[in-house]
Amino acid sequence: MKSVIYLLIIFTFFQASAQRNYQKSYFKNGQLQSEGWLNQNQKVDYWFYYFENGNKKEEGHYTANKKCKWWIFYKSNEEINKKSEFKNDQLNGYSLFYKKNKLVKAEKYSMGNKIKEWNSISEFKKDNKISF
């Protein structure tokens, strides 16, 4: 009986892991366009996207084909443009905006709707009791 249970556990493990694979797509010029994990043809875990020049465009987490957690968005020279929190493919939480790698502005979202904006970091720190 124990051997049957062990076989079922092993079969289930291999069945689940066989459905997960690392996917890459390419631009027509051969440069990498995107890469990340698929599970049952849905994007999961961490993904990277690239500009046609090869530099990073954006990166972040997926759950069941929907953006979640923190995402980082870049300018074409790989300078960070913003960092944003997502839930169910919608902005949910903070979006932090950068200029020349320095934090300059912040916004707060609730399920895609902007609920607050700070045009200076001192205002943002005061309202949110956050230290950098």
Give per-residue pLDDT as tens, 42-63. Answer: 999 999 999 999 999 999 999 9
pLDDT at 8 over 50: no
CA distances from 30 to 33, 38, 102, 132 (A): 9, 21, 33, 40
Whole-number pLDDT of residue 99 = 95
Lowest mean pLDDT among 18-32, 79-93, 118-132: 118-132
Q: Whole-model pTM?
A: 0.82
Cβ atoms of 107 and 94 closer than 8 Å: yes
Instruction: Write down all domains in the chain, each with its CATH number in brackets.
Output: 2-128 (3.90.930)
Cα–Cα dist 80/73, whole Å? 6
Whole-number pLDDT of residue 7 = 44
pLDDT band at 5 (very low <50, low <70, confident <90, very high): low
